Structure 1
Amino acid sequence: MSDQPLLQAVSVSKIYSGRHGAGVQFADLDVKPHQITAIIGESGSGKSTLLKLLYGLLSPQKGQILYKGEPILGPHDKLIPGHDSMKMVTQHTDDLNLHASVWDNVAHLLPNTDLQAKQQRTTELLKQLKLFHMADKRVVELSGGEKQRVAIAKALVTSPEVLFLDEPFNQVDTSFREGLQRDIRRIVDETGLTVVMVSHDPAEVLSMADELIVLRNGEIVEAGKPEELYTNPVNFYTATLLSNCNVVEGEEAKELGIKTNLSRVVIYPEWISIDKKMLSNKWKVMQILFKGPYEELWLTYNDLNIRVFNLQLGKFPIGKGVSIKVNKYKAF
């Protein structure tokens, strides 16, 4: 049963007039239960529109959104839009009561008919999201990352089956971001929650998602496991979206020992190694960016510039000539 889609878009289109973005065109996708499905694309690619269609905040002009095989009603057919079994959290946390405590923000959606169950559920969520120690703090006193945790706890307190996250980590400091991502991953694994998230950051989707959907100009251009899409992208857009890669055109590929009839070659920086065995040191180190456990080297030869990841810190100073070897590439 877990292989059956929980949520489906069937030939869904929502096109905006004017300059409101690309919208979504003829989108088909399946969201499997108990997994994290991530939608990634450039700004204006239709990511948030697709998320709102799946939740029922927007009505498609064509096609259908199905939840467990039943159509999801949009705002044209439902007074309060949004499916009752789903919740959405955005990057803004606007629905939080800033002057109420963390506890009250999370607990107030639960009924008072069983106060013991209300206290137990609120405590459980605050502990899961590492908020219990600040339960009595007012939300206005919290950092951006802490507010986002409260917003997620509030969304989960009524035990929805699907949680939508729209660019949830944009306002979260890097120091908080990875911890929050790990906690969401753990909650999915422990509870069977289904998460559909939107992001423009490849680092987020590659580390969190079970399934990845790539959106461009409102159309789904590729979908699959994050590792598969990263290592073997079918689409040039996917390759450049998921990695800050080297793009080599036509004749330039020959300078790297690549023979292909295709017009563009994509090479990830980690697919290139500095080869001390080769005699030709024609590539010059022009810039070095320290990245902690590795350095990012910018190399140049004639008019061609490429990026290489170097684990041997400090071994190649600026101006040094090096030889390189392309271990893998993808031609389009």
Structure 2
Amino acid sequence: MTEKPFLQAVGISRVFTGTHHEGGVKDITLNIIPGKITAIIGTSGSGKTTLLKLLFGLLSPEKGKVLFEGERIWGPEEKLIPGHDAMKMVTQHTDDLNLFAKVWDNIAVLLPNTDIATKQARTEEVLRQLNMLHLADKRVFDLSGGEKQRVAIARAIATRPRVLLLDEPFNQVDASFREGLQQDIRQIVADTGLTVIMVSHDPAEVLSMADELIVLKDGKVLETGSPKQLYQNPANLYTAQLLTNCNVLSKADAKLLGIHAKKETVVIYPHYIDVSGGWALNRWVVKNILFKGFYEELVLDHDGITARAFNKEQGKFKAGDKVTLKAWGYLEY
């Protein structure tokens, strides 16, 4: 017997018509891989959040259907409390938290009172999974935005859902703590087999956290694949620009970096460019130097053509220096 797909969208569409543009999703078919983290990425208005809500059952498709283990997910028109019972969603807002209750109580309240020992054990387990045990007796009101987000995620996984949906979940989390929270979620996925579907606009976030990427453009799936696959070999210029701040040059301009391309558009990642101070015909001027921690990002100009390159030898160049660029890797479109 053929195994039923875990979570599946079959030809779903939900279109919103506005004054200046049309939004939503159109004719999307996809299968979500169980026990993995899938990230939905795209520019603003590409349909990311609409797709997430359709998968959860907060919205009903105008055509097509969403299936969970072969059973149709019903939307708000058919279900009094929308959202599938085996799924939980966390957004960047934390409005459902009880601000004046303790962190412990915000989580424990979702668990049944039929077995108090099990309730206490599960609450402690969730707090440990998200490294929040030290916050258990604090009021949510007294927490930072990032800590509140952790509480919201803890509440979502307390009842052991099969699928966790995250809509821009790390916006309220300080950069210094964001990576730790992402790692905690990855560990929970590895330990429990939880399936996570997330929407994000941060390329660093999805590249380091996701197992699978779904790229949306104008409400349609443009391409899918692993983060490594789509970063190294994106089939579309759109995807390359989503995943990194890349250089996009014409075929003619690319010759200034020693590239003789066959196609009209050339994409060069900043770390694909070597910068040297030798004497060569093609001279670039260092216009700006951006400190990035362990490396610098050089903003360079050649007769109005701008390029960016990474430099790990900090202090080697200064604004106004004339340098030579050579690209050792590139993509063509």
Alignment TM class, shorter chain as reference: over 0.9
Counterpart in 1 of 2:81?
80
SS of residue in 2 equivalent to 1:16? strand
Kept after mapping to 2: 8 A contact 1:280/1:322: no
Kept after mapping to 2: 8 A contact 1:4/1:32: no
SS of residue in 2 equivalent to 1:325? strand
The TM-score with structure 2 as length reference comes to 0.96
* Pairing of 1:53-92 with structure 2 (within 5 A): 53-92=54-93
Kept after mapping to 1: 8 A contact 2:4/2:70: no
In 2, Cα distance between equivalents of 1:243 and 1:329: 13
Q: Displacement, 1:21?
A: 5.6
TM-align CA RMSD = 1.7
Q: Displacement, 1:74?
A: 1.0
Q: Taking structure 1 as reference, are residues 125 and 174 closer, same or farther at Cα in structure 2, changes over 3 Å only? A: same
* Pairing of 1:105-184 with structure 2 (within 5 A): 105-184=106-185
In 1, Cα distance between equivalents of 2:70 and 2:211: 22
In 1, Cα distance between equivalents of 2:315 and 2:144: 37
Deviations 1:302-328 (A, max 9, x none): 121100000111111222222121111
Unaligned runs of 5+ in 2: none
Q: Displacement, 1:173?
A: 1.2
Number of aligned residues: 331
Counterpart in 2 of 1:193?
194
Q: Taking structure 1 as reference, are residues 97 and 21 closer, same or farther at Cα in structure 2, changes over 3 Å only? A: farther
Counterpart in 1 of 2:303?
302
In 1, Cα distance between equivalents of 2:193 and 2:145: 27
Counterpart in 1 of 2:12?
12
Matched, 1:270 2:271: yes
Q: Which runs of 4+ in 1 moved over 3 A?
A: 275-281
Counterpart in 2 of 1:288?
289
Deviations 1:145-164 (A, max 9, x none): 10000000000000000000
Unaligned runs of 5+ in 1: none
Q: Taking structure 1 as reference, are residues 121 and 21 closer, same or farther at Cα in structure 2, changes over 3 Å only? A: farther
Counterpart in 2 of 1:206?
207
Percent of matched pairs sharing the same residue:
61
Q: Displacement, 1:262?
A: 2.1
Kept after mapping to 2: 8 A contact 1:5/1:33: no
The TM-score with structure 1 as length reference comes to 0.96
Kept after mapping to 1: 8 A contact 2:277/2:322: no
Kept after mapping to 1: 8 A contact 2:203/2:244: yes
